Amino acid sequence: MSKSIKLAILGLGTVGTGVLRLLEDNLAELKRRSGHDIIITEVGTRRQRDDINPSIQQNSDLMAIAASDNVDIVIEVMGGQTVAKDVIIHAIKQGKHVVTANKALLAEHGNEIFALAEKHHVHVAYEAAVAGGIPIIKVLREALAANNIEWLTGIINGTGNFIMTEMRDKGRDFDDVLHEAQALGYAEADPTFDVEGIDAAHKLALLASIAFGIPLQFDKVYCEGITDITLQDVTYAEELGYRIKHLGFAVRRYDTANGDSLDMPSLAQTATGIELRVHPTLIPENALLANVNGVKNAVLVNSHPLGQTLYYGDGAGAGATASAVMADVMDLIRVLTATNHGHHVPHLAFMPDALADTPILAIDHIVTGYYLRLQADDTPGVLAGVTGILSEAGINIDAILQKPVHQKGQVPIIILTLPVVESQMNVAINKIEALAAIHSKVVRIRLHDLT
């Protein structure tokens, strides 16, 4: 039996307006898919807009909207953490289902919000919080539910990917590309969340919880941005057959002493810890992720028995995010209208009382290869001194590139190493930087073979 499902949109910025327009454009198709009329009854906006259908109530009192009897599902797309958190909690306590695109709020307060939703028997859906229109939340929670997910990695911030792509393709400096990204609306006036990896870390915390069945732990994600990446590093990486991408990694670690491989361990093994990290990474130029360019996002997942799968698409923008928001709305409509109200997929994919306490590993324990760039005096014996330190630390060298570019009698030396525990590399770098012939800090970029 058909019924009317009433929605409220809180926030009419780019995403909120996109949801509104998507509903107007696809209303007939949405009814065909759901079997019900979908109606926007209220919108939360600070100012009255004359481009909104007059049948929709415009209201600046968000708490009143969240408690309204004329609303079944609350869509929060205004961002921020203070007001958004208060409104979402109020809506949950009023028995309303919630759809949100707010990755920062969920990454930092999701454990509290999801527990409250369980208590009040409502659902908080958040597909739009990670990777825009790519349905990666649904994939991890549902499509891969029978799989044991071992690791995932991906480009989950379009702004950073745009900057790295422009630096590589057009030989532009970081600051130059950042200014263009701001002019195009890809980056905010304060781009810190994007370029320092905080936005990606928020998303990675969510993905890891769903993949591994652990509580949200944003505060334990190692986060390193791209602001120190130079055109010089991008160029040298290309010469060596690599590209630099700003990646997030969530990895079950079984034996931190056994190399860089992220391949599947024996199913009989128990994970000793989980790596959660966001940082610039060298990957082979023929790797799938190396060829994800511009503002696109992509997530590579390795699971058993399926193996590797790649999910690619627009990671932001009105259309992509509105698509994800409405996918969540459609799921909740099925919950609201089911004749037998069965249990919905748990918020973090695993039953709340079955979340694991697997520890999050400190960055010192990870195992990767490394790209090292040194600025050294152009004198005999310098390279031998550097390689000797690496050898003493048990670090094997994969490649060395010494450039004939002189600057005040100095030359750049680029070294690629085989995988090693990061703590060993830290010791070696400290010793290298202490050499009189080495000038400035050693540039270190982690390296993974994702082919």
- Whether 361 is in a domain gets the answer no
Both 289 and 250 in one domain: the answer is: yes
- Whether 360 is in a domain gets the answer no
Digit-by-digit pLDDT tens for the chain (451 residues) are 668 899 999 999 888 999 999 988 888 888 888 888 899 999 999 888 888 888 999 999 999 999 999 999 999 999 888 999 999 999 999 999 999 999 999 999 999 999 999 999 999 999 999 998 899 999 999 999 999 999 999 999 999 999 999 999 999 999 999 999 988 888 888 899 999 999 999 999 999 999 999 999 999 999 999 999 999 999 999 999 999 999 999 999 886 445 555 655 555 566 789 999 999 999 999 999 999 999 999 999 999 999 999 999 988 788 888 999 999 998 998 888 876 555 567 787 787 888 888 999 999 999 999 999 999 998 889 999 999 999 999 999 999 998 876 777 889 999 999 999 999 999 999 999 999 999 989 999 999 998 7
| Cα separation, 132 vs 446, whole angstroms | 27
From 103, 203, 245, 296, the catalytic residue = 203
Helix and strand element counts for the chain (H, E): 13, 16
Both 206 and 306 in one domain: the answer is: yes
Please count the structural domains in the chain: 3
- Whether 198 is in a domain gets the answer yes
Closest CA to 153 of 321, 4, 324, 277: 277
Instruction: Identify the pLDDT of residue 158.
Output: 92
The CATH number of the domain where 254 resides is what? 3.30.360.10
Both 210 and 277 in one domain: the answer is: yes
Of the three residues 250, 282, 312, the one that is the final residue of a domain is 312
The CATH number of the domain where 339 resides is what? 3.40.50.720
Both 247 and 142 in one domain: the answer is: yes
Closest CA to 426 of 411, 441, 439: 441
Q: What is the DSSP string of 25-80?
A: HHHHHHHHHHSSEEEEEEEE-SS--TTS-TTSEEES-HHHHHH-TT-SEEEE-S--
- Whether 181 is in a domain gets the answer yes
Both 258 and 326 in one domain: the answer is: no
Instruction: Identify the pLDDT of residue 185.
Output: 81
Is 403 annotated in the active site? no
Both 201 and 289 in one domain: the answer is: yes
Instruction: Identify the pLDDT of residue 1.
Output: 61
The CATH number of the domain where 430 resides is what? 3.30.70.260
Both 115 and 166 in one domain: the answer is: no
- Whether 175 is in a domain gets the answer yes
| Cα separation, 319 vs 21, whole angstroms | 9
Give the count of beta carbons closer than 10 Å to the beta carbon of residue 326: 22
- Whether 59 is in a domain gets the answer yes
Residue 122 amino acid letter: V
Instruction: Identify the pLDDT of residue 53.
Output: 87
Judge contact between 167 and 173, C-beta under 8 A.
yes
Both 329 and 389 in one domain: the answer is: no
pTM of the predicted model, to two decimals? 0.91
The parent domain of residue 117 ranges over 4-133+318-354
- Whether 338 is in a domain gets the answer yes
Both 122 and 156 in one domain: the answer is: no
Instruction: Identify the pLDDT of residue 238.
Output: 95
Both 246 and 106 in one domain: the answer is: no
Both 153 and 282 in one domain: the answer is: yes
Instruction: Identify the pLDDT of residue 343.
Output: 54
- Whether 359 is in a domain gets the answer no
Both 298 and 429 in one domain: the answer is: no
